[in-house]
Structure 1
Amino acid sequence: MTTPRSASSRRSRSRANGDGTIYQRKDGRWEAAGYVLAPGNTRKRVRVYGATRKDALAKLAEKIAASNLGLPVAAADSTVSAYLTYWLHGVAVHQVRENTHTRYAACIRLHLTPGLGTKKLARLTARDVRTFLDNLRTTCQCCNQERDTGRFCCCAIGQCCGKRLSPLTVTYVHSVLKSALEHAVREDDLPRNVARNVKTPTPRPRRFKPFTASEALLFLQAASGDRLHALYALALRTGLRKGELLGLHWEDLDLEGGTATIHRSLQRTPTSGLTVLHTKTRASERRIALPTECIRSLKSHRERQQEERQAAGMGWTNSGLVFTTPTGSPLDPANLTRRFGLLLSRAGLRRIRFHDLRHSTATLLLEQGVDLVVIKELLGHSHIGVTAGVYAHVRLRLQRQAIDTLGHVLGATDDPDASPAGAVVR
Structure 2
Amino acid sequence: MPRSTRFAKIISLRKRHWLTYGLAGKAPNTVKNYKILCHTHVIRDLGKRRLSDLTADHVDKWLAGKARTLSTRTLQAIHSCLSRSVQRAILREKVHRNVVALCEVPTGRPGRPSKALTFAQAEAVLDALEGDPMHAYVIVSLLTGARTEELRPLTWDHVGLEGRPDSKPPVPPHIAVWRSVREGGDTKTRKSRRTLALPARAVAALRVQRRRQQRQREAAGVDWRESGLVFTSEVGTPMDAANVRRAFRRALAKAEGIDPAEWTPRELRHSFVSLLSDHDVPVEEIARLVGHAATATTEKVYRKPIRPVIQTGAQAMDRIFGA
TM-score class, shorter: 0.7 to 0.9
Q: Quote how far apart the aligned CAs of 1:329 are.
A: 2.7
For 1:235 and 1:317, locate their aligned partners in 2 and report how far apart those are by CA, in whole Å. Answer: 24
Q: Counterpart of 1:135 in 2: which secondary structure?
A: helix
Which residue of the partner structure matches residue 122 of structure 2?
216
Count the aligned residue pairs: 274
Which residue of the partner structure matches residue 308 of structure 1?
216
Cα distance change of structure 1 residues 284 and 322 upon mapping to structure 2, 3 Å threshold: farther
Q: Which of residues 138, 142, 150 in structure 2 aligns to 1:244?
A: 150
For 1:282 and 1:196, locate their aligned partners in 2 and report how far apart those are by CA, in whole Å. Answer: 27
Q: Which of residues 237, 258, 267 in structure 2 aligns to 1:350?
A: 258
Which residue of the partner structure matches residue 54 of structure 2?
124
For 1:122 and 1:241, locate their aligned partners in 2 and report how far apart those are by CA, in whole Å. Answer: 44
For 2:178 and 2:160, locate their aligned partners in 1 and report how far apart those are by CA, in whole Å. Answer: 14
**What letter is aligned with 1:322?**
V
The 10-residue stretch of structure 1 (79-88 or 224-233) with the greater mean CA deviation from structure 2: 79-88
CA contact (8 A) 2:71 2:107 kept: no
Q: Quote how far apart the aligned CAs of 1:229 are.
A: 1.9
CA contact (8 A) 1:247 1:265 kept: yes
Cα distance change of structure 1 residues 383 and 92 upon mapping to structure 2, 3 Å threshold: farther
Q: Quote how far apart the aligned CAs of 1:210 are.
A: 1.1
Q: CA RMSD in A?
A: 3.1
TM normalised by structure 1 equals 0.56
Cα distance change of structure 1 residues 313 and 105 upon mapping to structure 2, 3 Å threshold: closer
CA contact (8 A) 1:247 1:321 kept: yes
Cα distance change of structure 1 residues 280 and 117 upon mapping to structure 2, 3 Å threshold: farther
Q: Quote how far apart the aligned CAs of 1:175 are.
A: 2.6
Which residue of the partner structure matches residue 277 of structure 2?
366
String of CA shifts for 1:241-274, please: whole Å, max 9, x gaps: 223222211122233243323343458xxxxxxx
The 10-residue stretch of structure 1 (316-325 or 362-371) with the greater mean CA deviation from structure 2: 362-371
Structure with the higher fraction of residues in helix conformation: 2
Q: Counterpart of 2:24 in 1: which secondary structure?
A: helix
Give aligned-pair identity as a percent: 31
For 1:370 and 1:193, locate their aligned partners in 2 and report how far apart those are by CA, in whole Å. Answer: 48
Q: Trace 1:168-247 onto structure 2 (pairs within 5 A).
A: 168-184=73-89, 192-203=97-108, 204-247=110-153
Which residue of the partner structure matches residue 261 of structure 1?
176
Q: Which of residues 40, 44, 56 in structure 2 aligns to 1:114?
A: 44
Which residue of the partner structure matches residue 27 of structure 2?
97
String of CA shifts for 1:158-183, please: whole Å, max 9, x gaps: xxxxxx44554334322322333345
Cα distance change of structure 1 residues 178 and 311 upon mapping to structure 2, 3 Å threshold: same
Which residue of the partner structure matches residue 281 of structure 1?
188
**What letter is aligned with 2:174?**
T
For 2:65 and 2:214, locate their aligned partners in 1 and report how far apart those are by CA, in whole Å. Answer: 58
Q: Quote how far apart the aligned CAs of 1:350 are.
A: 1.9
Q: Quote how far apart the aligned CAs of 1:237 are.
A: 1.0
CA contact (8 A) 2:179 2:193 kept: no
CA contact (8 A) 2:150 2:180 kept: yes
Cα distance change of structure 1 residues 335 and 114 upon mapping to structure 2, 3 Å threshold: closer
Cα distance change of structure 1 residues 382 and 88 upon mapping to structure 2, 3 Å threshold: farther
CA contact (8 A) 2:177 2:196 kept: no
String of CA shifts for 1:71-129, please: whole Å, max 9, x gaps: xxxxxxx96533322212212233x3211111111222122123222333334221111
Higher gyration radius (CA): 1
Is 2:48 the counterpart of 1:133? no
Q: Counterpart of 1:240 in 2: which secondary structure?
A: coil
The 10-residue stretch of structure 1 (321-330 or 124-133) with the greater mean CA deviation from structure 2: 321-330
Is 2:235 the counterpart of 1:327? yes
CA contact (8 A) 1:323 1:331 kept: yes
For 2:48 and 2:65, locate their aligned partners in 1 and report how far apart those are by CA, in whole Å. Answer: 16
Structure with the higher fraction of residues in strand conformation: 1
Cα distance change of structure 1 residues 232 and 178 upon mapping to structure 2, 3 Å threshold: same
String of CA shifts for 1:255-296, please: whole Å, max 9, x gaps: 3243323343458xxxxxxxx961463447512313232223
The 10-residue stretch of structure 1 (108-117 or 280-289) with the greater mean CA deviation from structure 2: 280-289
TM normalised by structure 2 equals 0.72
Q: Quote how far apart the aligned CAs of 1:309 are.
A: 2.6
For 2:281 and 2:95, locate their aligned partners in 1 and report how far apart those are by CA, in whole Å. Answer: 49
Q: Counterpart of 2:49 in 1: which secondary structure?
A: coil
The 10-residue stretch of structure 1 (321-330 or 231-240) with the greater mean CA deviation from structure 2: 321-330
Q: Counterpart of 2:270 in 1: which secondary structure?
A: helix
Cα distance change of structure 1 residues 328 and 347 upon mapping to structure 2, 3 Å threshold: same
For 2:291 and 2:51, locate their aligned partners in 1 and report how far apart those are by CA, in whole Å. Answer: 39
For 1:378 and 1:202, locate their aligned partners in 2 and report how far apart those are by CA, in whole Å. Answer: 32
CA contact (8 A) 2:175 2:197 kept: yes
Q: Quote how far apart the aligned CAs of 1:302 are.
A: 1.6
Is 2:225 the counterpart of 1:317? yes
Q: Counterpart of 1:340 in 2: which secondary structure?
A: helix
Which sections of structure 2, spanning at least 5 residues, go unmatched?
Answer: 1-8, 164-170, 297-323
For 2:72 and 2:240, locate their aligned partners in 1 and report how far apart those are by CA, in whole Å. Answer: 30
Q: Quote how far apart the aligned CAs of 1:190 are.
A: 5.4
CA contact (8 A) 1:264 1:279 kept: yes
**What letter is aligned with 2:60?**
R
